[in-house]
């Protein structure tokens, strides 16, 4: 007499499985929540507001770096650059250094009426080095 297992194969059980609607709903809900958690925590997903904030910050930083480079070039191209650099380095306070750059007009970008503060601050740091 042969003893065969009455247990159906895994493939057969998979084909015969009929999940209840509630089981299917909860499986989809858990999958959705897991996808969102993984996406926002480890996948690098961000909301629209965060994206706008990050792009605005990146734009401000890039504009400040460009303004700083232009400011340093304008400062070094001035006819009395050596004397102004000595006067600049004699200042001890970073606020006064930034004011010196702004007052000298080196941080005022072409087409602008007022100096770029971020550019003036970066320019002061670059000139102090």
3-state SS, 31-61, equals HHHHHHHHHHHCCCCCCHHHHHHHHHHHHHH
From the number of C-beta atoms within 10 Å of its C-beta (0-12, 13-18, 19+), residue 23 rates as: exposed
Supply the DSSP symbol for 107. Answer: T
pTM of the model: 0.63
What does the pLDDT read at residue 5? 64
pLDDT for 78-120, tens place per residue?
999 999 999 999 998 989 999 999 999 999 888 888 888 888 9
The rounded distance, in Å, linking the Cα atoms of 108 and 67 is 8
Q: What is the largest CA-CA distance in the chain?
A: 110
7 confidence band (pLDDT: 50, 70, 90): confident
pLDDT for 35-67, tens place per residue?
999 999 999 999 999 999 999 999 988 988 888
Average pLDDT over residues 9-20: 89
Tokens coding 21: 């609607």
């Amino acid at each position: 007499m042969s003893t065969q297992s009455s247990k159906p194969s895994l493939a057969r059980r998979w084909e015969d499985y009929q999940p209840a609607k509630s089981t299917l709903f909860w499986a989809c809900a858990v999958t959705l929540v897991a996808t969102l958690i993984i996406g926002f925590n480890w996948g690098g997903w961000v909301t629209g507001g965060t994206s706008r904030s990050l792009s605005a910050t990146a734009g401000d930083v890039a504009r400040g770096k460009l303004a700083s480079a232009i400011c340093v070039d304008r400062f070094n191209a001035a006819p009395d650059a050596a004397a102004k650099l000595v006067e600049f380095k004699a200042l001890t306070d970073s606020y006064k250094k930034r004011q010196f750059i702004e007052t000298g007009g080196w941080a005022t970008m072409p087409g602008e009426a007022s100096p770029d503060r971020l550019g003036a601050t970066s320019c002061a740091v670059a000139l102090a080095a």
